[in-house]
Structure 1
């Protein structure tokens, strides 16, 4: 029902906020962005075209949000995301004036993809540290292959 879906989304947002607060306390110098005045769309917005809900892949759900490469998409809140697999994506978002890179698993409920609990968010300084270590991580992967 709509009420159950709304309750779930509120809980998922609370879990996300708790995770961010935890990460913020662990970070030595959190990177913050100046507050913008753009408004966010309501998270409970329904698709006007129900035929989109019959598609299997979240990557094909919003073709108008794609850029020329086809990798970048936008969710209903206008946040950029990149599809990693059928149910996993990376979203770049702003939360409490912080820029976050959110790795999250999604699940399908009532024809709509919703964020799951499985995931993590990196602040920009953590993201940059990860990027610096990509070659070393790739080398470790090759050792195990």
Structure 2
């Protein structure tokens, strides 16, 4: 069976060497709002490398307040910190006024 190959001629209708145009460009990154950072996980900076993140672990959501460290240009979670379930977080937030009142008498 003979092979019938036609040599494709390149179109010279464009002088651009940019290659194909991506019809679905990646979405633009969200701008930093307040202390929230652009991250895969919702993240807020407390101070320096102390962050609050909402993270998923083993299929469950946690509020993670943790000190991070940098290794090979990547921020990784350190040992210093606490992870709370949403229920624990809500309980802590409900105690906020009482804690603030006690703080104001001590400081």
Shorter-chain TM-score bucket reads 0.5 to 0.7
The structure with the greater share of residues assigned to strand is 2
Aligned length: 79
Once the two structures are TM-superposed, the CA of residue 110 in structure 1 deviates from its matched residue by: 3.9
- Give TM-score, length-normalised by structure 2: 0.65
Higher relative contact order (CA 8 A, sep 6+): 1
Give the structure with the larger helix fraction. 1
- Between structure 1 and structure 2, the one with the greater Rg is 2
* TM-score in terms of structure 1 length: 0.49
Q: CA RMSD in A?
A: 1.7
Structure 2 unaligned segments of length 5 or more: list them: 1-28
Structure 1, unpaired ranges of 5+ = 1-63
Structure 1 residue ranges, 4+ long, deviating more than 3 angstroms after superposition: 64-67, 109-112
Partner of 2:34: 70
1:113 offset after TM fit, Å?
2.5
